[in-house]
A and B are shown apart, each in its own frame.
Chain A
């Protein structure tokens, strides 16, 4: 088991508030991990330190045994190319096609000046297009390649976002509340797809999920964040007990239980 992501005493301060209070964690290659917890627990902040959208106030993050150097923009580009990310609101480029959105996943792999300029003005090679089509097929959207992304459903948008991330050939896929805006049925399909990504492409997947009830069917490892610290790390079956959940979700527990039931 090779460590893929290692958090070493990560702290993050926003103003006067300490959002992460020294997090130590190791996520191994090929793992499929959920990060759960109440709002404001620091879940999203934690995973955003992995690709540098949050710079820790103290501590180090190692991706694939390499220390993340937040100050070096070249290294950061390379890191982001290797770490795909999907979002709660999909963050697609609206008014353009699904194909175009998937092609933007190749941007990080262009490092010659000419390639950067050509891709910036929207020119992509035949092999890029071929690969984008294969990935659209993989996520089940081959027939929507030409569709404008503001004309497709939420579930389809998230598939396009996953395809965009896969286009990067990432070793890690971060997902920030990927199903929070989707209905239960679609949510399951998206989690199925993430699982397939993990299994078939050997990509380490770390996903932030607010609701516990979706977690236990899919994940064998769950990390619970509470008040900026790891409150639980292990098999979700161990969390079934009410007291354990209550301690993680605190005041929000009632609501959580209502959804689960």
Chain B
């Protein structure tokens, strides 16, 4: 009987539940094809005004882009430095005590579960508009990411060399130096590069809320409806992000192969490494110059934190309603992206799509969508389809297509051709081949990516409201603008709780899929 009940739950209740959630999500996020089609002429106008891009101020934009890179590199650099000790303290096998482990582990989770734009908002409020809040926000964001990566890498080290060094009677610090570090340098540098790459995009996004760099200028020009200037900036951002992406991918590959700075690669590798140090050196006075600002800001930050206590939960029902809207945006954006990405993924997969022009164009589109921060799309669609969650849904959909389209295409390209042949050998029709040889191979991967993107979209959807694209973020900005810190912290805690819950849920579901 319980078996029948379980089968009933699985076959009937689960799909009904999923469908209901979906309908509800589309409903609360105000998704409508009507609004979309009404927005289309507006989008057309915006695109027309964008052409041709106006590069009159290209020098200024390049220097702002340079600032963005400086913010990203410094934030990553400082964040990584802080993450190194934290990584060891938050790893079960190197942490000196259980309590220290638990403390740092929770600290890292906390840091990671608050969106970087929230840090940027608070810091802008504390030290004013400029590069410094950007650097600090990126730094904290980096600590959240890097410490987790580092501690996981440390927990996975091979224990044998550790035992060998320990058995010589070495001090604990020497054990780390001689048996753990050598195993980790490659992994750590790989992660750091990956984070740096990701942080350049994040820096553009935090700039939009006032934390310096080209994002700030982009936001200003957007609000003044100077779309030709905006277009010029977007092109510059895209090209620079692309170049950094390629360099970082190259260096990562070389580090993994262990050929970075090897004889045959030195010609390229020294300039890259040198360039990084020159960047850090040249911008050092600028960064140090702002330390004064930070010192002046410290009392303000302390005051803000003091003001946050106790959190004001009196408006919780309203926040919960907005949180539902936020989750609805994330779900609707993800589902739309999944549908669109299936088409794009197939068109971009080189083993299915024979026309190189099509695969090339599709991967161009996904690369562009990945390079742009989602909050930038949100800015656009707030203008095109109006304030509200619908703009957020479209923004989330576009940036998710950037990831899913690429991941799907790679999954399809990596299917095992032997299984496809075996199904062909039964005399299968091409449709049957897709159903029985392609889908079963890619579906678990697709679902894994979908959960990852849903997880990511929940984080993103909580802050898209900052630019008016629906959800709880709008309420957060308002409470901050009005210096109502007890309410702000209540909202932040709620965001934190939801992100943590979704994170656990998706980790659980991902384990189930394998």
Query: What residues make up the interface of A, taking CB atoms closer than 8 Å to B?
Result: 51, 53, 77-85, 87, 89, 91-96, 104-110, 116-117, 119-122, 161, 164-165, 167-168
Output the residue of B421, B427, B441 with the most chain A CB within 10 A.
Answer: B427
Assess whether B432 is in contact with A92, with CB atoms less than 8 Å apart: no
Cβ-defined partner of B423 (8 Å) among A104, A121, A167:
A104
Assess whether A168 is in contact with B426, with CB atoms less than 8 Å apart: yes
Cβ-defined partner of A51 (8 Å) among B416, B418, B423, B425:
B425
Assess whether A110 is in contact with B437, with CB atoms less than 8 Å apart: no
Question: Which residues on A sit within 8 Å (CB–CB) of B422?
Answer: 85, 87, 91-93, 161, 164
26 sample A-B contacts, Cβ–Cβ < 8 Å, listed by A number = A51-B425, A53-B424, A79-B427, A80-B426, A80-B427, A85-B422, A87-B418, A87-B422, A89-B418, A92-B422, A93-B422, A93-B436, A95-B444, A106-B426, A107-B423, A108-B426, A109-B427, A116-B429, A116-B431, A116-B432, A119-B432, A120-B431, A120-B432, A122-B435, A164-B426, A168-B426
Nearest to A88 among chain B residues (CB) is: B418
Q: How far is the CA of A168 from the CA of B424 in the complex (A)?
A: 12
Query: What residues make up the interface of B, taking CB atoms closer than 8 Å to A?
Result: 416, 418-419, 421-429, 431-432, 434-437, 440-441, 444
Least Cβ–Cβ distance between A91 and chain B, in angstroms: 4
Question: Which residues on A sit within 8 Å (CB–CB) of B427?
Answer: 77-82, 107-109, 168
Q: How far is the CA of A119 from the CA of B437 in the complex (A)?
A: 12
Question: Which residues on B sit within 8 Å (CB–CB) of A120?
Answer: 429, 431-432, 434-436
Question: Which residues on B sit within 8 Å (CB–CB) of A79?
Answer: 427
Cβ-defined partner of B440 (8 Å) among A83, A96, A107, A116:
A96
Q: A91-B418, A122-B436 given. 11 additional CB < 8 A pairs?
A: A53-B425, A77-B427, A78-B427, A80-B425, A87-B422, A92-B422, A95-B444, A106-B426, A109-B427, A119-B432, A121-B435
Assess whether B435 is in contact with A91, with CB atoms less than 8 Å apart: no
Assess whether B440 is in contact with A95, with CB atoms less than 8 Å apart: yes
Q: How far is the CA of A133 from the CA of B208 in the complex (A)?
A: 63
Question: Which residues on A sit within 8 Å (CB–CB) of B425?
Answer: 51, 53, 80, 83-85
Assess whether A107 is in contact with B429, with CB atoms less than 8 Å apart: yes
Q: How far is the CA of A81 from the CA of B419 in the complex (A)?
A: 16
Least Cβ–Cβ distance between B341 and chain A, in angstroms: 20
Least Cβ–Cβ distance between B214 and chain A, in angstroms: 46
Nearest to B431 among chain A residues (CB) is: A120
Assess whether A107 is in contact with B426, with CB atoms less than 8 Å apart: yes
Q: How far is the CA of A116 from the CA of B431 in the complex (A)?
A: 7
Q: How far is the CA of A165 from the CA of B423 in the complex (A)?
A: 10
Assess whether A117 is in contact with B431, with CB atoms less than 8 Å apart: yes
Q: How far is the CA of A79 from the CA of B427 in the complex (A)?
A: 7
Nearest to A123 among chain B residues (CB) is: B435
Known: A96-B440, A119-B435, A120-B434. A91 touches B429 (CB 8 A): no
Question: Which residues on A sit within 8 Å (CB–CB) of B435?
Answer: 119-122
Question: Which residues on A sit within 8 Å (CB–CB) of B444?
Answer: 95
Question: Which residues on B sit within 8 Å (CB–CB) of A117?
Answer: 431
Nearest to B423 among chain A residues (CB) is: A104
Output the residue of B421, B422, B431 with the most chain A CB within 10 A.
Answer: B422
Q: How far is the CA of A168 from the CA of B432 in the complex (A)?
A: 15
Cβ-defined partner of B421 (8 Å) among A53, A109, A165:
A53
Assess whether B428 is in contact with A91, with CB atoms less than 8 Å apart: no
Nearest to B514 among chain A residues (CB) is: A95
Question: Which residues on B sit within 8 Å (CB–CB) of A96?
Answer: 440
What are the 4 A-B residue pairs with the smallest beta carbon separation, nearest first? Answer: A108-B427, A81-B427, A120-B435, A91-B422
Least Cβ–Cβ distance between B481 and chain A, in angstroms: 51
Question: Which residues on B sit within 8 Å (CB–CB) of A91?
Answer: 416, 418-419, 421-422
Question: Which residues on B sit within 8 Å (CB–CB) of A106?
Answer: 426
Question: Which residues on B sit within 8 Å (CB–CB) of A122?
Answer: 435-436
Nearest to B420 among chain A residues (CB) is: A91
Nearest to A122 among chain B residues (CB) is: B435
Assess whether A81 is in contact with B429, with CB atoms less than 8 Å apart: no
Q: How far is the CA of A210 from the CA of B419 in the complex (A)?
A: 22
Q: How far is the CA of A83 from the CA of B309 in the complex (A)?
A: 76
Output the residue of A87, A93, A121, A122 with the most chain B CB within 10 A.
Answer: A93
Least Cβ–Cβ distance between A120 and chain B, in angstroms: 4
